[in-house]
Structure formats: structure tokens, C-alpha cells
Amino acid sequence: MNALKLSIQFLVAALLPFGETIAATKPLAPATILFVGDSISAAYGLKPEQGYVTLLQKDLTSASGKRAITVVNGSVSGDTTANGRARLPVLLAKHKPTLVVIALGGNDALRGISAKTMAENLEAMARLSATAKARVILVGLQVPPNFGAQYTAQFEGAYKEVASKLKLTLVPSILAPLGTSLDYFQADRIHPTAAAQPLIAKHLLPILLKAL
């Protein structure tokens, strides 16, 4: 009988610290997601609140439960990877993000900037973010066929190269969920419409949640 009593006391003593640890678990710390992109992320031709970045703020708040998540849109229409690289240090210092989403490259293609230069800029941005203790998601873009097979391969390869080298999460194309339907694009056939924004947000949401 005494042996049984001692065994029970030992079991209670062994389990107590574990129970106390669970009870004392603190909620997840607040997180900040910084988007550094171009006109697609800046909601060109739309109201800011219609853009996918703003929609993601609402979706993340809903999906994350009690965790406070702030989304900062540091995107500027017309930006190249060089512009983003130049602006990033100030954005990192100001917002101290937990996660940085780099969604640049379209304007590099439009200006004929080499894929090698683009890759160098993307890598530099990722390294700057890592130094600031932020995780990085790299978001790519597929250029139209009229850019030529060689440049298209080099352009898409730049994202894969940087993601592989630095072990980053890669989203191959931000516009993938839109398919080829022109109904989701504005008259310029480049920028997504308001109706397309929720599709882009839905595409990115689980990737962001996993990264956090």
C-alpha cells in the first residue's frame, strides 16, 4: 500500500511541472509583414483598400486568432529590384518586420534589365532582410511570351536561383491564380482588376501563415 502511495505521489510530482508549463505558455508575439513590391502590389488603378495586400491584413487577422499581425505595404509603382534594394534598409529600420515579402521584377523585364542583375538585387534584399532577423518570401512573375524564350527562361530562373541559394520560400508567379482570363486584368492587360485581388490574397494567405 505504501509503495502504491509513493508511486502516485511520484507521478503527480512528475506531471506538475509539465502542467504548469502549459498554463504559463505565452501567446505568440505580434508579427509585422512587410511587402516590397511594384504596381501590382501597390494596387495600381484601384483604391488602396481594394488591393490584395490590404485584403491580406483582414484575412490574416481572421485566420491567426488572437495573434496581432500588422501588414505594411512598402510597394511603389514603377519600382525595379534596384529601387527596392535601395529603399529596403529604411523600411527595415522603420517597421522591424517579422517577415518580408519581396515581389519585384516586372519592371526589370519591361526595362530590359538583365536577369543576372535582377538576381543580384533580389539576393541582396533577402540578405538585408535576414540580417534584420526577418524571414523572406520571394514572389516571382511570369513574363509574356513576346519577351522571347531565352529571356523568359533566364528571368524565371533568377527567382529559382536566389530561392535555392538562400533557401527561401518561392511563389513562382503572383498572378498564377488568375490564369489567362483577361477578365481579371485592367485595360493595359498587365495590372489585375479589383475582382482579381481576393484570388491573389487567397493564393498567398496559407504561404504567409506557414512562414509565420
CA dihedral 165, 129, 76, 87 (to 10 degrees): -110
Instruction: For residue 72, give every residue at least 6 positions away whose Cβ sits within 8 Å of its Cβ, in sequence order, or none.
Output: 32, 33, 34, 35, 91, 95, 97
Identify the CA nearest to 115 among candidates 89, 91, 75, 148. Answer: 148
| Interstrand relation of 69-73 and 31-37 (parallel, antiparallel or unpaired) | parallel
The answer to whether 79 is a known catalytic residue is no
Task: Please identify which of the residues 41, 108, 129, 191 carries the catalytic annotation.
Answer: 191
Identify the CA nearest to 96 among candidates 120, 74, 121, 119. Answer: 74
Scanning the chain, the segments in alpha helix (DSSP H) are 2-23, 52-63, 81-95, 106-110, 115-131, 149-166, 197-211
Which three cell numbers, joined as nine digits, stand for 106?
A: 516586372
The answer to whether 183 is a known catalytic residue is no
Task: Please identify which of the residues 39, 41, 75, 129 carries the catalytic annotation.
Answer: 39
The answer to whether 188 is a known catalytic residue is yes
The residues annotated with a catalytic role in the active site are 39, 188, 191
